[in-house]
Chain A
Amino acid sequence: MIYDRKPASRAFSLSDLPKSVFVVALGVLLVMLGVWALSRPSGAKARLAALEQQADQIRAATKVRGDLTTYPLGSVCSGVLDEGFRNQLNTALAGTGLKISALDISDRGRAGDIRPLHAYSLTLKASGTYEQAVGAMERLAQNRPRVFLDSLSLRNQTESVDLNVEGRVFCRWKKQD
């Protein structure tokens, strides 16, 4: 058979496709949806939202101002100073060999207006050798929460030195205080 012209092309129509094509396409779509749903861990959406919230918390925390070089971590206690703290400090200072005649820690209440702290005054009276006094000062310097010094005197006696320290220790202010 000889064709003397190009046969007329017919417009494509979806109805020309067999039904099985649609059934297979629908099946593939359902399988893909099932695989997608199955591949996600349970509660993934809520867990990702929680992670986003935590990331926001970190971003907010990094924006807080404060000079940690001058006042490093641990400069302020998070709880309250009780008799246990005094006994612990007394034991540590006595460990230097210094004879402690007085170690008082008293509650001074709120300090500061905008960002209040709970202040405690610290008074130390002790005597011993010069080395023991310096050792006690070093021990106090390492103490956490940090002791902020108001005054210090080191008096040379004939056989020993007298050490007097007056300072303050701060804890976080709590509303129930």
Chain B
Amino acid sequence: MNDFAIPELSDRRSVKPFTRILNTPPGWPWDQARIAALEARHTSPVSGTDIAIVMRRLQPWGFGEGGRFVAIYVRDRDIQEGLKLDFDVGGKKVSVDIPSPRQKAEQSRDRLWNLGLIGLIACCLVGLGMVTLQRRAAEGERLTELETQMTRKVRDAEGVARAKADAEALADLNLDNRTLDNAMQDLKTISLQRDPSDRLDAFYWNKGYWAVELHGGTPPVKDATVPLQRSTKPVRKGVWLWVSAVEDGAR
């Protein structure tokens, strides 16, 4: 038995097919096969309506080379159950399996299943590829968004770092409490706490210390926690100089 479960020739009645060798000019393999088939049919040495012609290529196709085929003429009834032939062509052994119509149908069905399976796998691969590409695009977008956020954060962090470095440099210069806000706060305190009847002639502020020229003898601030010194003599008639005597390091 062979692959197609065709009974060996020896197992069946003797079949002696007629064979012919056909040569074709160089060309594409399908053109050569068509030429050989046409020639085998139109120049058939056997006549009858129940003749089946089986074509087999005897040598592999080569570019620029002619084709060499064998045409096997058999009767339809001889291949109803399939046939396996072994014969000699020009000293070369040729083995031909001719499947029966039922086997041909089975082969076609198998081929169809295989094609379906291949198609299904191809669809799965295409789907997988599409999903992967979508994921790739999404990952790319996420990465771009992350890069934008990170760039902004780096810029902000570097800005803060520069500001901190500036603050350290200013701290080295001992500039704490040396803003106009500090001076205005002192002026506001004096304005609120002094006796309204005592006119303020001048307000001085120097590196955290303040002084005032004030009419009358009452202190400019009532807050006992603020140490004050008054000039021993009035700077002008009825005008006294008051100086905040804050201890070193307090400012």
A contacts, CB < 8 Å to B? 31, 35, 38-42, 44, 47-48, 50-51, 54-55, 57-58, 60-62, 64-68, 70-76, 78, 111-117, 134, 137-138, 140-141, 146-156, 165, 167, 170, 172
Inter-chain CA distance A171–B173, complex, in Å, is 13
Q: Check A58–B154 contact: CB distance below 8 A.
A: yes
Of the A-B pairs whose beta carbons lie under 8 Å apart in the complex, a sample of 27, sorted by A's number, is A39-B132, A39-B135, A40-B136, A54-B153, A65-B164, A66-B164, A66-B168, A68-B160, A71-B170, A72-B163, A73-B163, A76-B163, A76-B170, A112-B172, A115-B168, A117-B166, A117-B170, A138-B180, A138-B184, A148-B170, A149-B182, A151-B207, A154-B203, A154-B204, A170-B166, A170-B169, A172-B162
The reply on B125 being an interface residue by CB < 8 A is yes
> B38 contacts the other chain (Cβ, under 8 Å)?
no
Set of chain A residues within 8 Å of B204, measured between Cβ atoms: 151-154
Which secondary structure characterizes the binding site on chain A? mixed
Q: Is B250 an interface residue (CB 8 A)?
A: no
Residue B187 CB within 8 A of the other chain = yes
B201 to chain A, nearest CB (A): 5
Specify the main secondary structure of chain B where it touches its partner.
helix
* Complex partner residue of A134 from B133, B146, B184, B206, CB under 8 angstroms: B184
A72 CA to B162 CA in the complex, in Å?
Answer: 11
B5 adjacent to chain A (CB < 8 Å): no
Interfacial chain B residues near A66, Cβ < 8 Å: 163-168, 171
CB of B244, distance to nearest CB on chain A (Å): 14
CA distance A68 to B161 in the complex (A): 10
In B200-220, which residues have CB < 8 Å from any A CB?
A: 200-207
Q: Report whether B183 and A114 are in contact in the complex, using a CB–CB cutoff of 8 Å.
A: no
Q: What is the minimal beta-carbon distance from A66 to any residue of chain B, in angstroms?
A: 3
CA distance A112 to B168 in the complex (A): 11
For residue B25, which residues in chain A have a CB less than 8 angstroms away from its CB?
none
CB distance from A108 to the nearest CB of B (A): 12
Residue of A nearest to B172 (CB): A112
Q: Are B168 and A149 in contact (CB under 8 A)?
A: no
Bound-state Cα–Cα, A165 to B204, Å: 10
Given A51-B150, A134-B184, CB of A141 within 8 Å of CB of B179: yes
Give the residue name and chain of the B residue nearest to A76 (CB). Answer: B166
* A168 nearest CB across to chain B (Å): 8
Q: How far is the CB of B108 from chain A (nearest CB, A)?
A: 22
Question: In the complex, what residues of B have CB within 8 A of residue A67's CB?
Answer: 164, 167-168, 171
CA distance A169 to B205 in the complex (A): 18
Complex: A15 Cα to B143 Cα, angstroms: 47
Query: CB-CB < 8 A to B128: which residues of A?
Result: 31, 35
The 9 A-B residue pairs with the shortest CB-CB distance, nearest first, are: A66-B164, A41-B140, A71-B167, A66-B167, A115-B169, A61-B161, A141-B180, A61-B157, A76-B166
